[in-house]
Amino acid sequence: MTACEGKHIVLVGMMGAGKSSVGRVLARKLHRPLLDSDELIEERTGRTVREIWSSDGEAAFRAIETETLLAMLGAGEPAVLAAAGGVVLAEANRSALAESDAHVVWLLAHVDLLVTRVTNGVHRPLLDDDPERMLRQMYTDREALYTEVADAVVSVDHRSINEVAQAVLRCAG
Ligand code: S3P
């Protein structure tokens, strides 16, 4: 019996921290579904993150993100949740995470690692102009928010995806 039996495991952290890749490994190991917020947003709306962002704006995207996070947390079967980097921004999301029974793990990456890993990519309109400056600013702005929501912190620096997944399981156990 682990501390997380019957509970969702929610991975939070900056873009490029490896939430989706680590989430896939964890879901496989635990025989659980993986719910990835950006993917679910695209499934639910039939539009890409970038389309929503460019036609309706960030605020509209964030509202859909909140609905999606609440739906993920409400999933009956315990799952692994990969929550997009920005979920910590809204107070409603932070409260939902705190009030849920979920085990929230912050995948903490040094910002220099994020800079080497992350390219703007189709679903990352925030990084279109100056990815490095933006990532550094976002890290400064969000560090306290990740700290606030996290039940556990796992460093991803110098670790493979499998090693990070093992570390998540250790701190969940
Ligand atoms: C965002 C993170 C992205 C995506 C969008 C905004 C953010 O998801 O939701 O580009 O504000 O941190 P990933 O963290 O999965 O890259």
Determine if ligand 1 sits within 6 Å of the CB of residue 124.
yes
Q: What percent of the chain has pLDDT over 90?
A: 84
Q: Mean pLDDT over residues 74-89, rounded?
A: 96
Average pLDDT, the chain: 94
Residue 123: band (very low, low, confident or very high) from pLDDT cuts 50, 70, 90: confident
User: Under a CB-based contact definition with an 8 Å cutoff, are residues 41 and 49 in contact?
Assistant: yes
Residue 2: band (very low, low, confident or very high) from pLDDT cuts 50, 70, 90: low
Q: The whole model's pTM is what?
A: 0.96
Determine if ligand 1 sits within 6 Å of the CB of residue 126.
yes
Q: pLDDT tens digits for 18-65? A: 999 999 999 999 999 999 999 999 999 999 999 999 999 999 999 999
Is the confidence at residue 6, as pLDDT, over 90?
A: no
Q: pLDDT tens digits for 126-173? A: 998 898 999 999 999 999 999 999 999 999 999 999 999 999 998 776
Of all protein residues, whose CA lies closest to atom 16 belonging to ligand 1?
Answer: 15
Nearest to 100 by CA among 83, 116, 86: 83
Determine if ligand 1 sits within 6 Å of the CB of residue 111.
no
Nearest to 105 by CA among 35, 2, 17, 28: 17
Place of tokens 């399981």: 169
Longest CA pairwise span in the chain (Å): 47
Q: Mean pLDDT over residues 88-96, rounded?
A: 98
Nearest to 75 by CA among 167, 165, 146, 8: 8
Determine if ligand 1 sits within 6 Å of the CB of residue 151.
no
Q: How many CA atoms lie within 13 A of 58 on its CB side?
A: 7
Determine if ligand 1 sits within 6 Å of the CB of residue 89.
no
Q: Among 11, 124, 142, name the best residue to mutate to test ligand 1's pocket (greatest count of ligand atoms within 8 A of Cβ).
A: 124
Report strand pairing: 9-12 vs 80-82. Answer: parallel
